[in-house]
Structure 1
Amino acid sequence: MTNQNIMRFPKGRTAFFLIHGVGEQNPFETVDYFAQNLLKYFDKQNLPFKLEHLIAKRRLSNGSIWTESFVRLSSTDTAQDWLIDVHEYYWAHNTENKISVPEMLQWAERTLDGTIEFYSRKENQGLLNALLANKNRKSLFTYRLRWLTIFLRLFNFVYPGLRLGLWLILSFVGPFLRGRFLQSAWKLSKQIVTPPLVNLVGDIAIYSITDRKSPYQKIRQQIVTESLTLLKAILKDKQANYDQVILTGHSLGSCIAYDTLNLLCIETSLSQDKTKSLLLNKIQGLITFGSPLDKIAFFFREVAQEGQYIRQRMLEHLNSFRVKPEFVLQSLYLTNNPVECKLEQVRWVNYYHLKDPISGHLDYYENLDNVEMKYQASWGVQGHLCYWIDPNFYENIADRFLYNSNKDGGNQEFLPQVDYTKA
């Protein structure tokens, strides 16, 4: 039997729409990780392929023009008509160095107090019982945000003194330093003194603030709006003419991907344009990995004050994409949701790892597959980042999304969940 007979070739024209997570990300880093590991997967399959760097003219939501760079994997065999494009939505510059440590502390304390107050109400006892159905959630509710609040309080107390002391030292020894130390001593002191956790918390704090009176709400709105704008451009791209588009979000990027689809559901509910409905059929997948979506919903979702059941129902309607019915306030009124989601064809796969403190089995949402990854990693950052380099992660994605064509516009069938992590 020849290699040609045992090869599996991808089908159709696929676009992955990548959204990175928190941290000091640089442009094209997620494209690099994702495309490199797809290459390794195809090399292992002995597929004949090539990799190209392409550009496309895009518009921001305000109408200004910019140039998008993306990469394309396609076959060198002319008999095989398939391609895989890897696009990236880069948003890190929107949140970097935008929020101070005292503001983060205020955010953490307000979030903790508000969450405890909301779930302490008698009418929300059912919601609390559903969320605390397992011991991990009980631990999350009882300890984790409290520990984060304590850490920020301590850091806020010692931060000014540490930074001032380091600034004096750097200013004194500055003439004898070189390399990265040849910059403003005050700016460098902040970089050295501030631990990575504070920068990560800053991104989450800015994005999870839903209060429209906050100046950071504009940053969140801009991030989601531009994400949706780029997604629409990819869907409408006549030259690429994709058969399927798959949103792929890591860490906080999974929340942006979710919110992008949720906003798309709202816009679709307001439109009667059948052409747009056909374009929506191209969105065939949502991949979340290292995702804190359950934690975001648990701690940071916007909630109404006690007794504001009308406002609470309105907020739920506007954030209802695949939320399980048991997490919706039971009421005799406002039972019809005006946001009619048209994305039933989207196959949602959530990847998590037990050594990843950010991710987990998503229980707040319905109609998705939760896949536990089992790569070797230590608890913490390594557990949170090793999805990017795990071969089984890419094999699972390929088996679920790359060998089924959507050229006829029909919905793809859900593949049965297979534990590829044991392969």
Structure 2
Amino acid sequence: MSHQNINPRFPKGRTAFFLIHGVGEQNPFETMDYFARNLLQYFDKQSLPFKLEHLIAKRRLANGSFWTESFVRVSPSDSEQNWIIDIHEYYWAPNTENKISVPELLQWAEQALDGTIKFYNRQENKDLLQRLLVNNKRKGLFQFRLRSLTIFLRLFNLVYPVLRLGIWLILLFAGPFLRGRFLQSAWKLSKQIVTPVLVNFVGDVAIYSITDPKSPYQKIRQQILAESLTLLKAILKDKEANYDQVILAGHSLGSCIAYDTLNLLCIESTLGQNKSKNLLLDKIKGLITFGSPLDKIAFFLRETAQQDQYIRQRMLEHLNSFRVKPEFALQSPYMTKNPVICQLEQINWVNYYHLKDPISGHLDYYENLDNVEMKYHASWGLEGHMGYWTDPSFYENITERFLYTSNQDKDNQKFTQKVSYNQS
């Protein structure tokens, strides 16, 4: 702690962060490590005295079996202070790992990209496209990159079988002279070599975004949501921790899982009349989405009914209505009352995005949230998508919004404006 002249500000109460990682080949505790390490670096710069602990808790899975959860706790080193910050992680990567074939994935990706282009070419969406193209930095994405990506996927789909067969033959004949990671099935290794990293990332999105109940991947989506909801409920009910607030934080596809988990809670709270359950839900104070594709999935990949199926369309809207703007609902005189009465109005939703992040963006499909544009230096693509984790202003914004809210000062209001102008 080198900043002796800084008077530290202390977090208030008992807070739990519920982290949900995004796409890619994640390992257990990586998300927790990223978030906790960079949060502690921010505390260190503020000369905040703290200690870090590894704790375990007995939890149940959605199927009823027990498992041991590991999480970390940040607490004051000064015994006179009374605050804690627990960081929990929902790890779902094994559910989607190597579950979808490359041809299936490429077919899904091409359909999604074609759907995106057709969406913006519709007459009723021309105004939306023009608003997006007002920002010069977005023109390249919508006018060139989507079409070039579609062409790339179509070409790759054609050459993939031939390319993989050629690599397999080379590995097969070179087998006696290879060692290390090459000493494995030549057929499996050829897939790893030929398949681009982009395909592995998109595979998670493809599996999770398929909502067709007839698809075998629908069970994977349901399992992910069931486990996320079960762990969140366990954290809310944890009598030993007795949290004052629980904050969901989802990166990339994890933001969609966080959103869908809250949407399920809305449905459950409507069906249940137990007041004690509602008191538990009141502990959920925040939703942090960063690098989020929520708008893209809502506009281009969500399940919709055919044009004349207005009853089915209205039912789908009701079941997926958490903070959706009313103007995106079907204009119909029938079934105007939504049976799902959401009781999560207390949640402060903040969405962080970066113009060099091709997955994220300003969320326009939803209401009652703050969109914060980040300005860290990054190239377009993976660097832009992952930069949130190591950007100090990201953690500064989070702490000001959620950890110091009990302090009666004006710093919180000032910071929201500062993050948009101070970083260049």
Q: Which residue of 1 aligns with 2:132?
A: 134
**How far apart are residue 152 of structure 1 and its match?**
2.4
Query: Structure 2 regions of 5+ residues with no counterpart?
Result: none
Aligned to 1:418, what secondary structure does the other structure show? helix
2 CA distance for matches of 1:241 and 1:163? 54
Q: Which residue of 2 aligns with 1:166?
A: 167
Q: Is 1:393 the counterpart of 2:410 in the alignment?
A: no
**How far apart are residue 169 of structure 1 and its match?**
1.6
8 Å contact kept, 1:108–1:148: no
Q: Is 1:289 the counterpart of 2:287 in the alignment?
A: no
Aligned to 2:417, what secondary structure does the other structure show? coil
Question: What is the one-letter code of the residue matched to 1:400?
Answer: R
Question: What is the one-letter code of the residue matched to 2:171?
Answer: L
Query: Structure 1 regions of 5+ residues with no counterpart?
Result: 407-413
1 CA distance for matches of 2:74 and 2:115? 48
Q: Is 1:71 the counterpart of 2:72 in the alignment?
A: yes
Aligned length: 412
Alignment of 1:174-323 (within 5 A): 174-323=175-324
Q: Which residue of 2 aligns with 1:420?
A: 419
TM-score (ref. length: structure 2): 0.91
Q: Is 1:368 the counterpart of 2:366 in the alignment?
A: no
**How far apart are residue 323 of structure 1 and its match?**
0.8
**How far apart are residue 217 of structure 1 and its match?**
0.8
Q: Which residue of 2 aligns with 1:81?
A: 82
1 CA distance for matches of 2:398 and 2:120? 37
TM-score (ref. length: structure 1): 0.91
Question: What is the one-letter code of the residue matched to 1:418?
Answer: Q
1 CA distance for matches of 2:5 and 2:269? 44
Aligned to 2:265, what secondary structure does the other structure show? helix
**How far apart are residue 357 of structure 1 and its match?**
1.0
**How far apart are residue 325 of structure 1 and its match?**
1.2
Moved more, 172-181 or 284-293: 172-181
Question: What is the one-letter code of the residue matched to 1:134?
Answer: L
Aligned to 1:55, what secondary structure does the other structure show? strand
2 CA distance for matches of 1:49 and 1:97? 41
Moved more, 386-395 or 164-173: 164-173
CA 114–96 in structure 1, closer or farther in 2 if over 3 Å, else same: same
8 Å contact kept, 1:250–1:291: yes
Q: Is 1:96 the counterpart of 2:94 in the alignment?
A: no
2 CA distance for matches of 1:144 and 1:60? 42
2 CA distance for matches of 1:312 and 1:115? 20
Aligned to 1:207, what secondary structure does the other structure show? helix
Superposition RMSD on alpha carbons, in Å?
A: 2.4
1 CA distance for matches of 2:250 and 2:107? 28
Aligned to 1:297, what secondary structure does the other structure show? helix
2 CA distance for matches of 1:160 and 1:127? 38
Q: Is 1:156 the counterpart of 2:154 in the alignment?
A: no
1:369-398 CA-partner distances (Å, limit 9, x unpaired): 111111111111101101100111101101
1 CA distance for matches of 2:116 and 2:194? 31
Aligned to 1:296, what secondary structure does the other structure show? helix
2 CA distance for matches of 1:327 and 1:130? 13
Q: Which residue of 2 aligns with 1:409?
A: none
8 Å contact kept, 2:16–2:87: yes
2 CA distance for matches of 1:314 and 1:248? 28
CA 225–61 in structure 1, closer or farther in 2 if over 3 Å, else same: same
CA 217–146 in structure 1, closer or farther in 2 if over 3 Å, else same: farther
2 CA distance for matches of 1:128 and 1:311? 27
Question: What is the one-letter code of the residue matched to 1:404?
Answer: T
